[in-house]
Amino acid sequence: MKILSIETSCDDTGITIMEATGGITNASFKVLADSSNSQIKLHIPFGGVYPALAKREHAKNLPILLEEVLKQSKLDKKAPTPKGVGVPTASVGNEAPVDLIAVTYGPGLEMCLWEGIVFAKELAKKWDIPLMPVDHMEGHACSVFGKKNEKGKGKFNVPKIQMPALALLVSGGHTQLVLSKKWMQYEIIGETLDDAVGEAFDKVARMMGLPYPGGPEISKLAEEERIKEKEALSAFSFTLPRPMLHTKNFDFSYSGLKTAVLYMLQKIGPVENISEEIKKKIALEFENAAIECLVYKTSKAIEKYKIKTLLVGGGVSCNAHLQREIKKITKGKVKLFVPDRNLSGDNSLMIGIAGYLEFIKNKKKVPKPETIKATGNLKL
């Protein structure tokens, strides 16, 4: 069946069309078209995502992306009628080019989620096809299976996963350890009590005068310093805290670590005067602390629950240090899945995978469209 998936939970607008076959343990996907729009540049002046602006951009971009994916997939049988911003149904015909629509309904910024949901509802009504609401975090967990090239095409299977499985989901809004004793059943066994790890990267970067999003910036500085550190012992040496590292649960905390960086920066002096060299050292120690907490708790959870498969997803999953350290704790013991670099951040392809699997799992039953609501704090 053909599935069209939509993602608008934060600052990325995405629409993907895939052909999907098979059951929940042997699904196969072919990406027919994929188009997205990142709003990063627009939000840079605000130092983070500005929700009202993000919402407006989603409204503007959804009809454009829809037309693009219909064209790319050669499914635009009907000649488009006049377009209008935010009016999806004006530009597409009544004949359904796909069999199912999947849309992110949470967690995320509610005003952004609504843009995708309303758009999806209109399309589903016009085409008279089912609409499947998808949890963004399930999407991140499923992103590890996806494949797409720069032209937005690709083919991939969802392999049979050895259970129990664990997902480490790390993004700008979430830091979670999710246990699956059975495939597609989720239990959150640990999560952050305050800031998400990606959020901590972003905030620390901002304090150091680095642009949004801060994760890749900090990571770049830390990697440069990491190579040097191996060669010479640093004159400016300090340690940052590893909050909750040895607590018996699987929870995390990142706000204390962020504050520790703030105090340290205040001691050193105005940020404009802090040299690149010192910034690199801070970035390295911050990254070491942030990642150590993730990896240590993950290794403890692997031990406790006798985990056979680990999936790592979310924007922070592309962090090079995290990937190296996670490989060390899983090597030879646990089958590890991480997303391709172009699928670690928010994307609509992962929503298509999760949407299809949920649709099959629910025996092709979907909720009534009027019951689908943006749910900012949705939990797996």
Q: Is 7 in the site for ligand KG4 (CB under 6 A)?
A: no
Q: How many CA within 13 A on the CB side of residue 99?
A: 11
Helix, strand, coil % (nearest 5) of the chain?
A: 45, 20, 35
Nearest to 70 by CA among 118, 23, 16, 28: 16
Q: How far is the CB of 35 from ligand KG4 (least distance, A)?
A: 17
Task: Using CB under 6 A, pick the residue from 14, 63, 152, 345 that binds ligand KG4.
Answer: 345
Per the CB < 8 A criterion, the answer to whether 99 and 347 are in contact is no
**Could you tell me the two tokens for 312?**
């790592």
Cα–Cα distance measured from residue 19 to residue 351, given in angstroms and rounded to the nearest whole number: 14
DSSP summary character for residue 22? S
Cα–Cα distance measured from residue 370 to residue 124, given in angstroms and rounded to the nearest whole number: 12
Q: Which residue has the tokens 């015909």?
A: 93
Q: With CB cut-offs between 5 and 8 Å by kind, which of Zn ion, ligand KG4, none does residue 214 bind?
A: ligand KG4
Q: How far is the CB of 330 from ligand KG4 (least distance, A)?
A: 19
Q: Is 315 in the site for ligand KG4 (CB under 6 A)?
A: yes
Name the helix (H) or strand (E) containing 33: strand 28-38
Q: Is 201 in the site for ligand KG4 (CB under 6 A)?
A: yes
Cα–Cα distance measured from residue 80 to residue 275, given in angstroms and rounded to the nearest whole number: 56
Question: Could you tell me whether strands 2-7 and 100-106 are parallel, antiparallel, or unpaired per DSSP bridges?
Answer: parallel
Cα–Cα distance measured from residue 75 to residue 73, given in angstroms and rounded to the nearest whole number: 5
Task: Using CB under 6 A, pick the residue from 109, 204, 318, 357 that binds ligand KG4.
Answer: 318
Q: How far is the CB of 213 from ligand KG4 (least distance, A)?
A: 4
| Contact stretch for ligand KG4 (CB under 6 A) within 34-42, 123-131, 211-219, 298-306 | 211-219
Cα–Cα distance measured from residue 317 to residue 170, given in angstroms and rounded to the nearest whole number: 6
Q: Taking CB under 5 A as the rule, which mask of x and - marks residues 153-192 in contact with Zn ion?
A: ------------------x---------------------
Q: Is 190 in the site for ligand KG4 (CB under 6 A)?
A: no
Q: Is 198 in the site for ligand KG4 (CB under 6 A)?
A: yes
* 320-359 positions binding Zn ion, by CB under 5 A: 346
Cα–Cα distance measured from residue 252 to residue 349, given in angstroms and rounded to the nearest whole number: 29
Q: With CB cut-offs between 5 and 8 Å by kind, which of ligand KG4, Zn ion, none does residue 39 bind?
A: none
Task: Using CB under 6 A, pick the residue from 10, 124, 179, 261 that binds ligand KG4.
Answer: 10
Q: Taking CB under 6 A as the rule, which mask of x and - marks residues 346-375 in contact with ligand KG4?
A: x-----------------------------
Q: Which residues bind Zn ion (CB under 5 A)?
A: 171, 346
Q: What are the residues binding ligand KG4 (CB under 6 A)?
A: 10, 171-173, 198-199, 201-202, 213-216, 219, 314-316, 318-319, 345-346
